[in-house]
């Protein structure tokens, strides 16, 4: 029998016996957990790190370096590569001072339910 048939037999057994929380199902889960367990990790310089604290440190350093801000980054150069979506006119309307009349109109347009929810938050 080829490898594919054996896999199907194992899957059939898992489906048949697994729902009963059988010993077979639990042993299969333990084997899978052990197989997927991370025992160690190789650091940038090639040194092998073992243990939860050491692995955690390597992972945090790796992703910390990947996502930290670049000191050589010029925001103006970065912004020049981004398409502008807010026009000057839109920006001036968004940043102008709000008048007391606008606040009053906005509050009176709100329903009582919205005001109560806003007040309680």
Contact 48, 42 (CB under 8 A): yes
Count: domains in the chain = 2
Q: How far apart are CA 30 and CA 23, in angstroms?
A: 11
Query: Quick check: helix, strand or coil at residue 48?
Result: strand
Is residue 28 included in any domain, yes or no? yes
Q: What dihedral do alpha carbons 66, 67, 69, 75 form, nearest 10°?
A: 110
pLDDT along the chain (121 residues), means of 10: 68 68 79 86 90 90 83 78 90 92 85 63 51
Q: How far apart are CA 44 and CA 48, in angstroms?
A: 9
pLDDT of residue 114: 64
Is residue 100 included in any domain, yes or no? yes
Domain of residue 86, residue span:
75-120
Is residue 30 included in any domain, yes or no? yes
């Amino acid at each position: 029998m080829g490898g594919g048939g054996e896999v199907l037999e194992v899957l059939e057994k898992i489906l048949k016996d697994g729902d009963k929380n059988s010993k077979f199902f639990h042993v299969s889960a333990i084997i899978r957990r052990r197989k997927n367990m991370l025992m160690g990790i190789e650091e940038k310089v090639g040194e092998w790190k073992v243990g939860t604290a050491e692995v955690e440190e390597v992972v945090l350093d790796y992703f910390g370096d990947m996502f930290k801000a670049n000191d050589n980054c010029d925001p103006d150069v970065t912004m020049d590569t981004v398409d502008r979506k807010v026009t000057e006119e839109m920006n001036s309307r968004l940043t102008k001072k709000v008048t007391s009349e606008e606040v009053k109109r906005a509050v009176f347009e709100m329903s009582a339910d919205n005001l109560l929810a806003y007040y309680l938050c």
